A and B are shown apart, each in its own frame.
Chain A
Amino acid sequence: MAESKKIAVIGGGIAGMEAAGNLVNLGFEVYLIERTNRLGGNVANWYCLFPDFKPSSKVVEQLKPAIQNKVQFRFGAEVCKTEKKGNKHLLHLNDGEVLECDAVVVASGFSLFDAHRKEEYGYGIYDNVITSADLEKQLAENHTVMTTQHKAPRKIAFIHCVGSRDHKVGNAYCSKVCCVTGVKQAIEVAKMHPEAEIYSFYMDLRMYDRQFEDLYMEAQTQHNVRFIRGRLSECFENADKTILLKAEDTLSGKPFRLSVDMVVLLVGMQADQSLKHISDMFALKTSDDRFLSVADVHTSSIYSGVEGVYLAGACTGPKSIHETLNSARAAALSTAIYLNQN
């Protein structure tokens, strides 16, 4: 048998893990390049997942057996430079190693919107304004949520679309999974603090996928979560460290104010800063939203348009976990077909 072909997968989040696992299964030799020292990416930072409250760590664990001892890991590694040698891609890593590959799968993922940039919401200024990621971290560590003054919150507000659908911060697109994340987190908090009043400030609620609408209904009927249609304009900190919210209650057509013990900002997804470098190196195109462009949004959403470079997961825009994993499998299959034909 001829020497098996080599593929570099860039990114060790769930997209990279799933693509790598599938490619190994198809008989290829795979390098998995991950800039941190652990697998799972953003998903490893989460507590439980919508719509079924499955612990996110379980998803990461489920993806490991397909790659452990089968993939050549390069942890703490980043691609600095690439060269073309015939059909092959030469990837220069930051430690000087050069990987010679027949194909590349970009699975570099996303980063969360930096909530400091919405200064009017007071993140990093007021104690009790946190992000959805901070809440997941608190839940993962303590299995409960408390204010910074270590009190059980009696009133909590979730703010949708922070860093999404917002031209002011340069993110005009919808991050699509934060709506249901907000509803999921509202239910989690309601279960931990049944006496608490929970508010949700939204522009639209985009419950686009299976069971999302059920979660929304559960939040309304089982936990009495109050949905207020209106985008938060600003936050102020009261003397007792509670947060005063000002918004327009658009369904009443009136300005609205409310004090809460805790504010959770549902931060959106954005293209990771490293994506610019990756797109430059491989001559990939990006769209106005700074995510990578695809060859065809309908029929070829995992192909970059550059020969031998395939795209998996959220590097091509916000995705839920099952969408990410499906795109990773599709990218792996397309890579395999390409390599078998060349």
Chain B
Amino acid sequence: MKNWGYSIHKDNQIDLDRNDTSVYKALILVEPSIARCISCGSCCATCSSGEYTSLSFRKIMIQISRGETKDLYSNLSQCMLCGKCILVCPRDVNTRNAITKLLQILTTKN
């Protein structure tokens, strides 16, 4: 393709008027404890997988609530379901169940 010396950037903005938050809405019905998340990050700090991969439960909660689901499935697949995150969560979020339910929702969706 001809190089005109400029390129067009993809919009980096989160547009909640257009984004589809149905995954979050489906998850909160089957695992209501995710509403309690305050993004403290203790789940990620204790996560064995997160030390080596892009898995971050905190980020996933924020992303799905904003309808941003890019790379979600591959990130989730890094989870070893060890459950350490449940032990450290100060708000009693059932993190491991949220991940398994989220994988189910995404599998049924696609």
Contacts and interface: CB of A to CB of B under 8 A. Distances in A.
A251 B16 CA distance: 15
A238 to B, nearest CB: 10
Interface in B37-64: 38-39, 58-59, 62-63
Contacts of B35: 220-221, 224
Contact of B14 (A217, A221, A226, A255): A255
A237 interface: no
Question: How large, as a class, is the contact surface on chain B?
Answer: 20 to 34
Contacts of A251: 39, 58, 62
A208 interface: no
A258 interface: yes
B13 A257 contact: yes
B17 interface: yes
Contacts of B16: 256-258
A329 B65 CA distance: 47
Contacts of A227: 38
A259 interface: yes
Interface in A249-300: 249, 251-252, 254-259
Question: How large, as a class, is the contact surface on chain A?
Answer: 10 to 19
A257 B68 contact: no
A249 B36 CA distance: 18
Contact of B12 (A221, A255, A258): A255
5 contacts: A220-B36, A251-B62, A252-B68, A256-B13, A257-B15
Nearest to A229: B39
Contacts of A257: 13-17
Interface in B11-28: 12-17, 28
A224 B25 CA distance: 10
A256 B63 CA distance: 12
A61 B58 CA distance: 47
Nearest to A221: B35
B73 to A, nearest CB: 18
Nearest to B61: A251
Contacts of A221: 32, 35-36
B101 interface: no
Given A224-B28, A249-B62, A251-B62, 4 more contacts: A251-B58, A252-B59, A254-B14, A257-B13
Given A221-B35, A251-B39, A259 B14 contact: no
B19 to A, nearest CB: 10
Given A217-B36, A257-B17, A259-B17, A226 B65 contact: yes
B96 interface: no
Interface in A228-258: 229, 249, 251-252, 254-258
A258 B15 CA distance: 6
A251 B14 CA distance: 12
Contacts of B65: 226
B32 A249 contact: no
Contact of B17 (A217, A252, A258): A258
A254 B12 contact: yes
Interface in B49-92: 58-59, 62-63, 65-66, 68, 91
A65 to B, nearest CB: 43
Given A221-B32, A224-B28, A226-B65, A249 B39 contact: no
Contacts of B58: 251
Contacts of B28: 224
B62 A252 contact: yes
Contacts of A224: 28, 35
Contacts of B68: 252
Contacts of A217: 36, 91
A144 to B, nearest CB: 25
B10 to A, nearest CB: 12
B12 to A, nearest CB: 6
A250 to B, nearest CB: 10
A249 B15 CA distance: 11
Contacts of A220: 35-36
B36 A256 contact: no
